[in-house]
Structure 1
Amino acid sequence: MTELSAPLVRRKARQAKTAKAAAGSASPRHIPVTRIALGLVALIAVGVTARIMLVDDPDGGRPSATVDIAGANPANSVAGAVAAPGEVTITADPEMFPVASADTVSEPADTLVIDPAANDPEMLEETEFGAIPRISGTGLRPFDVYSRPSDTPATSGGKPLIAIIVSGLGLNTEGTLDAISKLPEEVTLAFAPYGKTLDRTVGAARAEGHELFLEVPLEPFDYPENDPGPDTLLTGQAPRDNLSKLFKVMSSFPGYVGLINNMGARFTASGADFGPMMEELGARGLGYLDDGSSNRSLAPQLARANRVPFGRVNAVVDANPARGPILAALADLERQARDKGYAIGIVSALPVSIEAVTEWARALRERGIEIVPASALMAGEPN
């Protein structure tokens, strides 16, 4: 049978087969692109693995910069000056390492000096809120370590002694720094726990040699109409809840010798509520200074029972916040010191109060009276 006489279907099949063979012989050879790509990926992976294993580069090739740790702003409120106690040592020499706050670099340089003693891990206990003071493993108390050396009633040879406490510091940065620069270094400073720049202001205070106290907010009788602030310790609450608030307040900054109450007439009159707090201070080696605002306070009895160094303020010097009345109150404080041997006065951080105290203190030695830190009048039995 010839091609012309073959059935149409069969003829078309042969023609198609012939055309396919011709096309196959004319096309170029197929290149295995997928296999080549997979091979390249495998080679890259092997190269990266080899670099990781053989090259010591903890940054993984990322750009990096070296920053002097002495210029870093301490992160905390605590532990004031180091992020990880024991891992970094910061000197207290202001000529070597001034520490500038990152958010104030455009301002005139204020030197923040970090006191290593205030950040000694042996004197700090880490909590969920940050580091808080404790007695060291060798028995050193924060009260003793952070107290300013001074004469005491036992060593003064009969010279009258006066302690002045300035309260409410740390809330206004510039006002606090101004007070620190003007006040005699023997004046004791009490900081509220709410300041946003406590690392800077507390560091400046310790650099100038001031002794520090931490204000703790305690419930007054007219709470909450009269509110000392966040984390106020309240009557009628479980002791663990109040202690949790206490630890949060205590983590505000390091280096204080003890606590002083902010308000608290109701709280300090309740032994069931005030007792656990005072027990904690005794266990941690801290002192307690009563601001003298409530005659119902159980602080003297509780301090004695828990071996807490204790003192009580004798007079609010700026109850009338004007220069004349403040100077008159300071003169009365002198009379108390001559009669008893010592006296403790407290003023707020008002500019008029700072100016009056600074003026009064200039000639005090000439009158035979010495300004001492509050701790010097707290070392003995509660009075």
Structure 2
Amino acid sequence: MADDLSAPLGRKAAKPVSRGLNLNLKPTALPLARIAFGVAALIVVGIGARVLLVNDPMGGRPVTEISLNSGSSNAIAEVVAPNEVTITAGPEMPVENLGVTIVGDDVPDGDPTGIGPETANADGLLPDLLEETERGAIPRVAATGETPFEAYARPSLTPATAGGKRLIAVVVTGLGLNETGTANAIDTLPEAITLAFAPYGKSLNRTVASARSGGHEIVLEIPLEPFDYPDSDPGPDTLLTGQAPRDNLDKLFNVMASFGGYVGVINHMGARFTASTADFAPIMEELGARGLGYLDDGSSNRSVAPQLAAANNVEFGRADMMLDQNPTRASILAQLAALEARATDAGQAIGVISALPVSVQTLAEWAGAVESRGFAIVPVSALMKAGA
């Protein structure tokens, strides 16, 4: 009160200044925006400095350098040296899985290691030609571009290399359903005879592997809808007209997963299905995408298979005749003679015969003598071609 009375008129006495530390700071008093901006600026400057000053062309990726000695006992090292080798691992790749890049002008085309082709699995199949699905493994084109048709075709004469020799291919159908009959066909028939397996037998992978190891080329039978379906029923997973393409493709994949190692497929029945372009086209497109051939058994003149195969670059062939519609020895021999006549006129011919015991036995007898008459038996792939 005394201070107020002694202060000049119109002025209040000044408050005494506290000389202690004022700890009553409010959050709004701190310059938060300036602090955050400063921290961000430091981060940007740090990153820029690292880019400019650190010489790291691999961008921080783990790198291991290996010196290869040409005198090493390692076969791969002897082939690769003295080329420069860099082993790198991607940021999401563990270092244990190393990729090798060979740098040098003298590296030959193909496999630089000289190890050879991919190793087949226990069933004689090449893993790179298999696609794993929920139904099992089905054929596909390999990463190298090789197709199952090319990989599993049996080497033989072709019309281009026959030198005027008349070529005959015979396909035995319905194998795999009867184990005894199938084993007899594999053991009795010459290896140049092509074997077609139905997808319904037991132990098909083992049986087909046995047939392939015996030199036989393999095709897969696919069940297709006939005109009198279901009175005539090709079996489970029959592809039907009027169904959604996805449904028929699901059935096709299920059938294709029955076994492996085949060059292509052959129709089992299917006069109605093969006459329907709308239903058949997606199937032929899938065969072309997977590198498989298609053999028409020749039973239907209404089949649009030739046109669809040409449109999808599918290796295609059409059988000239059925050989055992009358399954007696005399009738089969007469049909085989007609097949020879066809080959004489056209230079080549394809016949289809069932796996009935009389058919297999008669075919084996004929095959033992046909080459002496100037014919050559070849696997069916030799008489198939894209767009035929």
Residues 294-330 of structure 1: CA deviation (Å, up to 9, x unaligned): 0000000000000000000001011110001101110
Residue equivalent to 1:302: 308
Residue equivalent to 1:277: 283
Amino acid paired to 2:385: A
Residue equivalent to 1:179: 185
Distance between the aligned counterparts of 1:182 and 1:377, measured in 2?
Answer: 23
Amino acid paired to 2:282: P
Residues 126-167 of structure 1: CA deviation (Å, up to 9, x unaligned): 111000000001100000000000111111011100000000
CA shift, 1:197, in A, is: 2.1
Contact 2:175–2:195, Cα closer than 8 Å, also in 1: yes
Amino acid paired to 1:268: T
Aligned residues: 271
Amino acid paired to 2:311: A
What is the RMSD of the two structures over their aligned residues, measured on CA atoms?
A: 1.4
Residue equivalent to 1:338: 344
Matches within 5 A, 1:204-353: 204-353=210-359
Unaligned 5+ runs, structure 1: 1-89, 93-112
Distance between the aligned counterparts of 1:323 and 1:295, measured in 2?
Answer: 27
Contact 2:306–2:387, Cα closer than 8 Å, also in 1: no
1:282–1:380 Cα change, 3 Å: closer
Contact 2:309–2:386, Cα closer than 8 Å, also in 1: no
Unaligned 5+ runs, structure 2: 1-117
In proportion to residue count, which structure has more strand?
Answer: 2
Amino acid paired to 2:262: Y
TM-score, normalised by the number of residues in structure 2:
0.68
Matches within 5 A, 1:47-58: none
Distance between the aligned counterparts of 2:145 and 2:119, measured in 1?
Answer: 24
Distance between the aligned counterparts of 1:264 and 1:146, measured in 2?
Answer: 26
Amino acid paired to 2:379: P
Residues 96-115 of structure 1: CA deviation (Å, up to 9, x unaligned): xxxxxxxxxxxxxxxxx945
Contact 2:224–2:240, Cα closer than 8 Å, also in 1: yes
1:114–1:180 Cα change, 3 Å: farther
Matches within 5 A, 1:137-152: 137-152=143-158
Contact 2:314–2:386, Cα closer than 8 Å, also in 1: no
Residues 64-99 of structure 1: CA deviation (Å, up to 9, x unaligned): xxxxxxxxxxxxxxxxxxxxxxxxxx988xxxxxxx
Distance between the aligned counterparts of 1:379 and 1:314, measured in 2?
Answer: 15
Please give the secondary structure, in 1, of the residue aligned with 2:236.
coil
TM-score, normalised by the number of residues in structure 1:
0.69
Amino acid paired to 2:240: L
Residue equivalent to 1:190: 196
Amino acid paired to 1:220: P
Residue equivalent to 1:368: 374
Contact 1:132–1:247, Cα closer than 8 Å, also in 2: yes
Please give the secondary structure, in 2, of the residue aligned with 1:363.
helix
Distance between the aligned counterparts of 1:115 and 1:200, measured in 2?
Answer: 7
Contact 2:150–2:263, Cα closer than 8 Å, also in 1: yes
CA shift, 1:380, in A, is: 4.8
Contact 2:313–2:386, Cα closer than 8 Å, also in 1: no
CA shift, 1:364, in A, is: 1.2
CA shift, 1:379, in A, is: 2.5
Matches within 5 A, 1:3-18: none
Answering whether residue 385 of structure 2 is matched by residue 379 of structure 1, we say yes
Distance between the aligned counterparts of 2:329 and 2:207, measured in 1?
Answer: 26
Q: Identity over the aligned pairs, expressed in percent? A: 67
Contact 2:310–2:386, Cα closer than 8 Å, also in 1: no
Residue equivalent to 2:129: 123
In proportion to residue count, which structure has more helix?
Answer: 1
